[in-house]
């Protein structure tokens, strides 16, 4: 496939100085002479080595992810948490040969998932310890087998323009029409990673100022359960598709427990329930293309009373310090899902204005890589 980069379409919008500067800098960076010169100077060589390491990690990142997946699948992280393990011990646990177990242990140690504590013996490394305790992250590692399959030929995936089913869209598509068990698998995955997201939202916004809160697209109610623990006086409701709400009722017990209302419905076709002075959309909007996203924001706008608040919490594009998470990870994840895209906070701000909201603010979160928060009001 040949692409004509010089068509000139729109390139007049690129300032001439910027074009010249970036082209010059990139020429310098790519030149073997510069690289050899940089390697000889103490400070510059440190920067050059770091950059070379980062470039290698980008090239090899898929392999690191598969080492992590193997470690999770054979139960290596759980085993290392119990205490020192050698290759023979891992072989016994996993059914791998000793040679394969040793290869995996050494790879895990190179990624700080494991740490060599004596010749031939390993315990959890610092990164392994943090991951092993994070059930949501581990669930995502397992779930990524679907995305990995879809990404095996990334150009083919892009060429299909989201017009054909993918492994990820098959998993996700319960949202439109699939039976309850698939809805349950998806909601369980979402619920397992919800604690981290809820922490960000609760740290960024004072929900206790409200009387009644409705979590739209609230899945099995993991987010409202976290809000209830932090703000016991709030009346809480969850709105989601009927099969998902059935799962929420089972998980929360009967009708959802005290002060927890469960509303089955489709937010693209049914009116959202009224009487809530705060509505939350947690990891919901980025699943949808712009027209659908705007129509959902308009539905929220209609459901809220004057002065009511909408709190949006999800990982966003353009997040300082976590830019790869936005347009690279979620950009491709949502492309493979055949719907949605990551948006910047400013893009949400513009959409909120179009939907008739009064203004918006981004609220700082402790871990923006997990979720950013945007608040608006009617």
Ligand X SMILES: C[S@@+](CC[C@H](N)C(=O)[O-])C[C@H]1O[C@@H](n2cnc3c(N)ncnc32)[C@H](O)[C@@H]1O
User: According to the binding rule CB under 6 A, does residue 376 interact with ligand X?
Assistant: no
**Which residue number has the CB closest to ligand X?**
217
User: According to the binding rule CB under 6 A, does residue 123 interact with ligand X?
Assistant: no
Q: Closest distance between ligand X and the C-beta of residue 26, in Å?
A: 38
Each residue 167-186 as x (binds ligand X by CB under 6 A) or -, in order, gives: --------x-----------
Figure out which of the listed residues 89, 217, 237, 326 binds ligand X, where binding follows CB under 6 A: 217
Q: Which range, of 76-84, 218-226, 255-263, 298-306, touches ligand X by CB under 6 A? A: 218-226
Backbone angles phi, psi at 366, to 5 degrees: -65, -40
User: According to the binding rule CB under 6 A, does residue 330 interact with ligand X?
Assistant: no
Q: Which range, of 16-24, 38-46, 48-56, 238-246, touches ligand X by CB under 6 A? A: 238-246
Figure out which of the listed residues 283, 309, 341, 343 binds ligand X, where binding follows CB under 6 A: 283
Task: Give whichever of 257 and 265 is closer to ligand X, judged by the CB atom.
Answer: 265
Q: Closest distance between ligand X and the C-beta of residue 334, in Å?
A: 10
Q: Which range, of 66-74, 144-152, 202-210, 282-290, touches ligand X by CB under 6 A? A: 282-290
Distance CA 241, CA 219 (A): 8
Figure out which of the listed residues 244, 293, 370, 373 binds ligand X, where binding follows CB under 6 A: 244
User: According to the binding rule CB under 6 A, does residue 247 interact with ligand X?
Assistant: no
Pairing type for strands 360-363 and 372-377 reads antiparallel
The site for ligand X (CB under 6 A) is made up of 175, 187, 190, 194, 197, 217-219, 222-223, 240-241, 244, 266-268, 282-284, 287
């Amino acid at each position: 496939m040949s692409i004509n980069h010089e068509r000139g379409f729109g390139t007049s919008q690129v300032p001439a100085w910027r074009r010249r500067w970036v082209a010059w800098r990139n020429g310098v960076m790519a030149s073997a002479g510069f690289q050899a010169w940089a390697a000889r100077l103490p400070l510059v060589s440190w920067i050059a080595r770091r950059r070379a390491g980062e470039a290698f990690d980008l090239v090899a990142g898929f392999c690191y992810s598969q080492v992590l997946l193997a470690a999770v699948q054979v139960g290596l992280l759980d085993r290392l948490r119990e205490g020192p393990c050698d290759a023979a011990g891992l072989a016994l646990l996993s059914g791998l040969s000793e040679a394969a177990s040793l290869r995996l242990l050494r790879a895990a140690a190179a990624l700080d998932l494991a740490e060599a504590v004596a010749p031939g013996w390993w315990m959890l490394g610092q990164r392994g310890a943090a991951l092993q305790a994070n059930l949501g992250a581990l669930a995502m590692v397992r779930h990524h087998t679907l995305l990995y399959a879809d990404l095996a030929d990334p150009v083919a995936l892009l060429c299909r323009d989201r017009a054909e089913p993918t492994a990820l869209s098959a998993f996700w598509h319960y949202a439109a029409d699939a039976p309850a068990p698939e809805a349950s698998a998806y909601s369980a995955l979402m619920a397992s990673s919800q604690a981290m997201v809820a922490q960000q939202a609760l740290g960024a916004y004072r929900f206790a100022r409200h009387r009644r809160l409705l979590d739209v697209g609230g899945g099995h109610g993991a987010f409202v359960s976290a809000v209830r623990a932090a703000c016991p006086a709030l009346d809480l409701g969850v709105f989601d598709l009927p099969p998902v709400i059935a799962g929420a009722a089972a998980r929360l017990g009967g009708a959802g427990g005290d002060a927890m209302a469960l509303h089955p419905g489709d937010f693209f076709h049914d009116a959202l329930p009224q009487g809530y002075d705060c509505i939350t959309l947690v990891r919901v909007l980025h699943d949808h293309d712009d027209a659908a996203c705007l129509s959902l924001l308009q539905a929220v706008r209609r459901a809220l009373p004057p002065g009511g608040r909408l709190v949006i919490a999800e990982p966003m594009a353009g997040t300082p310090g976590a830019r790869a998470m936005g347009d690279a990870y979620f950009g491709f994840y949502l492309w493979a899902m055949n719907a949605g895209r990551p948006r910047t906070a400013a893009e949400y701000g513009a959409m909120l204005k179009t939907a008739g909201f009064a203004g918006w603010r981004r609220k700082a979160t402790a871990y923006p890589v997990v979720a950013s928060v945007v608040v608006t009001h009617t």
